[in-house]
Amino acid sequence: MKKFVTIFSILVVVGVVVLLVFSQLIGTGIKAGVETFGPEVTQTPITVDSVSLSAFSGSGSIEGLVVGNPEGFNTPHSIKLDGFSLKLQPMSVLSDKIVINEIIIDGPEFIFETGVGLQKSNVGTILANIEKFTGESEAVEEEETASKSVQIDLLRITGGKVKVSNKLLGGQALMVPLPDIELTDIGAADDGISFGESMKLVFQAINQGIVSSVGQSGKVVGEQLKNIGSGTQKGLGGLLKGLKESVTKEKE
């Protein structure tokens, strides 16, 4: 009996160690995947400080995610997340479809950089890069064996802030709140969707939310523009009006 208890105890310890190692491997794999595959899709640098994930529950967090800017933009980054939580089905990482139950992002920082007039923004350029990547990859996927796909049951972004960057501001920061964003059942049908397609859906929602928020932020930014010259105010008014009109066209 004592021998059986001893063997059982050893097996439990070994099992716990294996799960802990598995957790570490998953976290390391996610970090490497984000920093390697992400830049290919967005055409921007992407860095992650750390990823922690429990193989027991599938719950985890990603700390210090920063998405840089495409070439031609001067602000430090486009997106900065101090940290966010996620929950996935651990064993799904060994299958063809990784199932993520939820991704909860609170308080992200976005920098919306655009030129004078209504030139393409940094976020809009990233979205265009993602759309180009997913379009080119479709033909390749038809000829190659299927790679891993993803399913995201819930993605929620709350408490976001948008820092508007424009030459007309003369270096002054213009802060606009981002409306909450919630996406559900991404890739839930059939065999899921590619990581590139899931990124496209997320960035489409983010871009639309930012453009809508900035375009309709006249009252919000009024106080922030008091110390700017009248000519600059007029120019920014035209920019905001143009953004608002673009949002209206998208809804039609």
Tell how far CA 229 is from the center of its chain. Answer: 36
- 3-class SS of residue 57: coil
Q: 193 lies in which domain range?
A: 2-251
Domain count, the chain: 1
Q: What is the distance between the alpha carbons of residues 165 and 176, in angstroms, rounded to a whole number?
A: 11
Q: Hey, what are 53's tokens?
A: 């994930």
Q: Indicate the residue type of 187.
A: G
Contact status, residue 144 vs residue 174, Cβ threshold 8 Å: no
How many other CB atoms are there within 10 angstroms of residue 25's CB atom? 13
pTM of the model: 0.79
**71 vs 168: CA distance, rounded Å:** 20
Q: Is 184 helix (H, G, I), strand (E, B) or coil?
A: strand
**Strand 149-158 to strand 97-106: parallel, antiparallel, or no bridges (unpaired)?**
parallel
How does pLDDT run along the chain (252 residues), one tens digit per residue? 555 445 544 544 444 444 444 455 667 778 888 899 899 999 999 999 998 888 778 898 999 999 999 998 889 999 999 989 999 888 887 788 889 999 999 999 999 888 655 457 899 899 999 999 988 765 555 444 446 889 999 999 999 999 888 776 666 667 888 989 999 999 988 788 888 899 999 999 998 888 888 766 655 555 555 555 554 555 555 555 555 554 444 444
Query: How far apart (Å, rounded) are the C-alpha atoms in residues 190 and 159?
Result: 33
Longest dimension (CA), the chain: 88
Nearest to 70 by CA among 117, 124, 131: 124
